[in-house]
Amino acid sequence: MLGPAEIRELAGRLGIRPTKALGQNFVHDPNTIRRIVRAAEVTPGEAVLEVGPGLGSLSLQLLAAGAELTAVEIDPRLATELPATVQALAPELAGNLRVLTADALTVTALDDPQPTALVANLPYNVAVPVLLHLLAAFPTIRHGLVLVQLEVADRLVAAPGSKVYGVPSAKLAWYGPAVRVGLVPRSVFWPVPNVESGLVRFSRAEQPPGSASRDQVFAVIDAAFAQRRKMLRSALAGWAGSGAAAEAVLVRAGVDPTARGETLDVTAFARIAEAKAAEAKAADAGAAES
């Protein structure tokens, strides 16, 4: 396990100065690392994907828990050093680690075994896009736990009607339930961030009922929250083609046109997307007959 002294020594030797651009804040508290791995509920032999392993604190504990670990690291220096760190501190586990030097936002394929869990201290500036991208790219991921800025954690787990319910909440809910399972103080990071952090655990479930695709549902969510203070018949006007068209789709979906997006759960967004797709299909069929 890497403690504060080891973290700083390793960073100094590599010439690493954590940058805001890469969202680098390394956890140096062993107890926090152990708590993260326990909360992630990783089972021995499970294929785990870690994003942004940094200097390797979380990687080492995941390997110790029995994970078959694939780590995606954007910084070439850190990606090169991680296998050496594991070899030096836990040589018996080195064969269970694979490192990919890449931006997690662009990764669409991984060598086997395919990941069934995602466990990561996500960079604050891209946490939501990375999480949603990986869930879309790797349907084998069944559960996971991410460490993110507390504000982001609250948004990810927010329920309809909450002040912070929005695009991240609804899109993550499309994949399945999520819950905040702990707070992480800023003092356990190096460098110390200006914000507290939170742990979010999620699991994949069946997608909402209906025939609408993820992209169709997400388009409705994006439109609904682009102007979140407007009623849906107005907020969805551009998406539907007009205010009248939006109202007709909403009525067909059983959604009050005067409601606002922040009051709808993901199932309602799926009904709206399905109603619009059905309307388009009927229009195409009518045009073909004429």
Query: pLDDT tens-digit profile of 103-151?
Result: 999 999 999 999 999 999 998 889 999 999 999 999 999 999 999 999 9
Q: How far apart are the C-alpha atoms of 124 and 184, rounded to whole Å?
A: 14
Q: How far is CA 121 from CA 32, 37, 73, 90, in A?
A: 12, 11, 12, 21
pLDDT (mean) for 237-264: 97
User: Which of the four pLDDT bands, split at 50, 70 and 90, describes residue 89?
Assistant: very high
> Token pair of 238, please?
């551009």
Are the CB atoms for 146 and 118 separated by under 8 Å?
Answer: yes
Given a cut of 90, whether residue 7 has pLDDT beyond it is no
Stated pTM of the model:
0.91
Between 246 and 282, residue with greater pLDDT: 246
Q: Rounded to the nearest 5°, which phi and psi values hold at 144?
A: 175, 180
Q: How far apart are the C-alpha atoms of 211 and 223, rounded to whole Å?
A: 19
DSSP 236: T
Q: What is the pLDDT of residue 15?
A: 73
pLDDT (mean) for 167-179: 98
Helix (H, G, I), strand (E, B) or coil at 87: helix
- What is the tens place of the pLDDT at every residue in 264-276? 999 999 999 999 9
The HSE-up count of residue 193 (CA atoms within 13 Å, CB side) is 23
User: Which of the four pLDDT bands, split at 50, 70 and 90, describes residue 19?
Assistant: low
Q: What is the pLDDT of residue 23?
A: 58
State the residue for tokens 């059905």: 278
Q: How far apart are the C-alpha atoms of 32 and 41, rounded to whole Å?
A: 15
Q: What is the pLDDT of residue 18?
A: 61
User: Which of the four pLDDT bands, split at 50, 70 and 90, describes residue 228?
Assistant: confident
User: Which of the four pLDDT bands, split at 50, 70 and 90, describes residue 13?
Assistant: confident
Query: How many C-beta atoms lie closer than 10 Å to residue 275's C-beta?
Result: 22
Given a cut of 80, whether residue 251 has pLDDT beyond it is yes
Q: Lowest-pLDDT range, 29-38, 57-66, 69-78, 280-289? A: 280-289
Q: What is the pLDDT of residue 11?
A: 67
Q: How far apart are the C-alpha atoms of 53 and 1, rounded to whole Å?
A: 13
As a whole number, the mean pLDDT across the chain is 92
pLDDT (mean) for 75-96: 95
Q: What is the pLDDT of residue 3?
A: 67
State the residue for tokens 């991240």: 168
Question: 251: which residues sit within 8 A by CB, 6+ positions away?
Answer: 257
What b/e string do you get for 173-203 counting C-beta neighbours within 10 Å, with b at 16 or more?
A: bbbeebebbbebeeebbbeebeeebbbbbbe
Q: What is the pLDDT of residue 123?
A: 85
Domains of the chain, CATH where assigned: 4-203 (3.40.50.150), 214-289 (1.10.8.100)
